[in-house]
Amino acid sequence: MRTKWLLFPTALLCILSCSNKYSRLSKQYTFRTEDKTPHYENLEYWAAHPWKKDLSDSVPAPLGTEKRDSTVDVFFIHPTTFTHGADRHGKNRGNAAIDDPYINARTDYTTILYQASAFNQHARVFAPRYRQADIRNFFEKDKIKAAKNFDFAYADVKTAFLYYLKQWNKGRPFILASHSQGTLLAERLYKELIIDKPLEKQMVAAYLVGWSLLKDEFSKEKLCQDSLQTNCLCGWRTLKRNFIPYFVSGEHGNSWVTNPLSWTTTGERIPKKYNKGSVLLKFNTIYRHTTDAQVEDGLLFVKRPKFPWSFLYLRRNYHVADINLFYINLRHNIEQRIDQFMITNTSEPRH
């Protein structure tokens, strides 16, 4: 049952944040909650965009001296931040308003800051706002109704991606990246517009995290088998070792999984000494060697992460930290794949 993966808010910062924080932050947003259609020529409809200053530009303090460039683009589709079942005005709705200041604040100060920023060292980051489906759609008994709401969200994402291609891509290499609901939509985008089409040759890689990559929907040939392969897919869902939630047990391992410590799809346990660093609740702190990783039964299993006061963290589903636990490994791998892509396609290294 793929649609029940999202049991918790999908950005790590949301775990301990209170609604008052986002109410306060939302005051800086000029939009008002109305049923508007996004027009992606307007940069206000982008949570991240290279032509404006936004939280995807943030770099953890210990990485402040690293070299940065904009060799490629990243099109990042953020996860669910509409988790209340109603907007701040108490109006029940299946999809978020594109201009809800509270939801946009939650998006920017969680997933854009803590997830999209992982891609910024060598890339221009594009992350559209979209009328995301309320998290209740994943549990909706009326599947037709839920499907319409996801279709509605996908229509915005597709429109934004096509606008990006037309106006800003101009033949540049790009990375497709996403988490959770974002990956549900990114898979659809990949199948419709990228796979086995000319655009696939421009794609350095796709990091489709926090959702299943079902084996009957994606061939093994499309999966990245090592840290350097390009034009391929990576993805994982993170759980505490020996914990399989009921809502994924029915998959019976029918999902491809990448180990973000080795970038292979095999079942070896990779020790935590290879975990180069996690970015958790404190953005400017990097915790090294927090956890190991092992692919098994279509999932990624880890030991309970070790960081200050981690003994108080009792969850066994680490979905919210799919990217954060492996933040530095992901950052390094992006560089590796870009370098390999440039060598393969231009016959010369990037630097």
Assess contact for 128 and 156: CB atoms under 8 A: yes
Asked if residues 110 and 132 have their Cβ atoms less than 8 Å apart, the reply is: no
Q: Are 93 and 134 in contact (CB under 8 A)?
A: yes
What pLDDT was estimated at residue 89?
57
pLDDT, tens digit (0-9, with 9 covering 90-100), for 10-38: 433 343 344 556 666 666 665 555 568 99
Question: Do the beta carbons of residue 177 and residue 77 sit within 8 Å?
Answer: yes
What DSSP character marks residue 99? T
Read off the pLDDT band of 204 (50, 70, 90).
Answer: very high
* Whether pLDDT at 1 is above 70: no
pLDDT at residue 145 is higher than 50: yes
Taking each helix axis as running N to C, give the angle between helix 181-189 and helix 143-164, from 0 to 180 degrees, rounded to the nearest 10: 60
d(CA 55, CA 325): 19
Residue 298 buriedness (CB in 10 A; 0-12 / 13-18 / 19+): buried
In angstroms, what CA-CA distances link 234 with 207, 213, 222, 261, 287? 5, 9, 9, 12, 23
Burial of 214 (0-12, 13-18, 19+ CB in 10 A): middle
Helix (H) or strand (E) holding 125: strand 123-128
Q: What's the number of CA atoms in the CB half-sphere (13 Å) around residue 269? A: 8
pLDDT of 3 over the 50 cut = no
User: What pTM does this model have?
Assistant: 0.91
Task: Map out the domains of the chain as residue ranges.
Answer: 2-346
Q: What phi and psi, each to the nearest 5 degrees, are found at residue 251?
A: -75, -25
pLDDT exceeds cutoff 50 at 312: yes
CA 298 centroid distance within chain: 19
**Cα 287-264-273 angle, rounded to 5 deg:** 30
**Tens-place pLDDT, residues 217-244:** 999 999 999 999 999 999 999 999 999 9
Using only C-alpha atoms, the chain has a radius of gyration, in whole angstroms, of 19
CA atoms of 137 and 63, how far apart (whole Å): 38
Summarize the confidence of residues 124-137 as an average pLDDT: 95
Among residues 269, 274, 271, 323, the alpha carbon closest in space to that of 295 is found at: 269
Comparison of pLDDT for 157 and 12, the residue scoring more: 157
The DSSP secondary-structure symbol of 112 reads I
Tens-place pLDDT, residues 162-186:
999 999 999 999 999 999 999 999 9
Phi/psi at 317 (nearest 5 deg)?
-100, 115
